[in-house]
A and B are shown apart, each in its own frame.
Chain A
Amino acid sequence: AAGVIQSPRHLIKEKRETATLKCYPIPRHDTVYWYQQGPGQDPQFLISFYEKMQSDKGSIPDRFSAQQFSDYHSELNMSSLELGDSALYFCASTRAAVSSNYGYTFGSGTRLTVV
């Protein structure tokens, strides 16, 4: 079965650089969530999209932005990178109509290292 696809798997950037993370949800899933997980920490909700519109916003820095495109894939854009942005970034997708019963499925994540 198709899963949530994230790219790239690993990314190394220097401070003050920009990064773009991509997420391709499971087919027919209309909702995408982005999470950030620092070392030894729980996944922190960043932002979500439903039907290409932002549906919720969490602890996402102003330096980050995201969008969902017409084909439902989503991109997380990160600018002026800081050392503290080094983390695993997970994307998850679901169908909003059933998510309250079935939760959602995560992609394998992008490991971002800022040096």
Chain B
Amino acid sequence: RKEVEQDPGPFNVPEGATVAFNCTYSNSASQSFFWYRQDCRKEPKLLMSVYSSGNEDGRFTAQLNRASQYISLLIRDSKLSDSATYLCAVNPKDSSYKLIFGSGTRLLVRP
């Protein structure tokens, strides 16, 4: 079983739709959680950190459920420019602070 798992999608949604992705992690000691966005053949770019109390940044909301060991990303009012692959990343609480990535969920927003 992979340490961090995501539904690969693709999620194909119309503009203006609300879409949610989940990501599960296996190491209960994991301490830091992030969502990254990756466009084709480009580097991952940090979208947002995920805090225990949940956090929002414009149309994006991230939630953490430690009991069930998953994080989620909600995108409201989808734009064409939101089309990308969304990677969740988890720091498994070790001294190097390395991040373990999920395989990503692909989002396609259609006109």
Q: Hey, which bits of chain A sit against chain B, CB under 8 A?
A: 31, 33, 41-45, 48, 50, 55-56, 58, 88, 90, 94, 96, 99-109, 111
| Residue contact B43 to A107, C-beta cutoff 8 Å | yes
| Residue contact A55 to B96, C-beta cutoff 8 Å | yes
CB-based closest 5 A-B pairs = A56-B96, A106-B43, A55-B96, A42-B103, A42-B101
| Residue contact A99 to B97, C-beta cutoff 8 Å | yes
| Residue contact B96 to A42, C-beta cutoff 8 Å | no
When each residue 18-40 of chain B gets 1 if its CB lies under 8 Å from chain A and 0 otherwise, what string results? 00000000000001101010000
Considering the chains assembled together, what is the distance between the CA atoms of A58 and B96 in angstroms? 11
Q: A104 to chain B: which residues have CB within 8 Å?
A: 46, 97, 99
Quote the shortest CB–CB distance from A35 to chain B (angstroms): 8
* Chain A residue nearest to B106 in the complex (CB): A40
B42-58 contacts to A, CB under 8 A, are: 42-46, 49
Across the interface, B44 reaches (CB within 8 A) one of A43, A48, A99, namely A43
| Residue contact A103 to B31, C-beta cutoff 8 Å | no
When each residue 97-108 of chain B gets 1 if its CB lies under 8 Å from chain A and 0 otherwise, what string results? 111111110000
Q: A94 to chain B: which residues have CB within 8 Å?
A: 97
Q: A55 to chain B: which residues have CB within 8 Å?
A: 95-96
Q: A44 to chain B: which residues have CB within 8 Å?
A: 101
* Chain A residue nearest to B104 in the complex (CB): A42
Considering the chains assembled together, what is the distance between the CA atoms of A41 and B101 in angstroms? 10
Known A-B contacts A106-B45, A108-B43; A41 and B103 likewise in contact (beta carbons under 8 Å) = yes
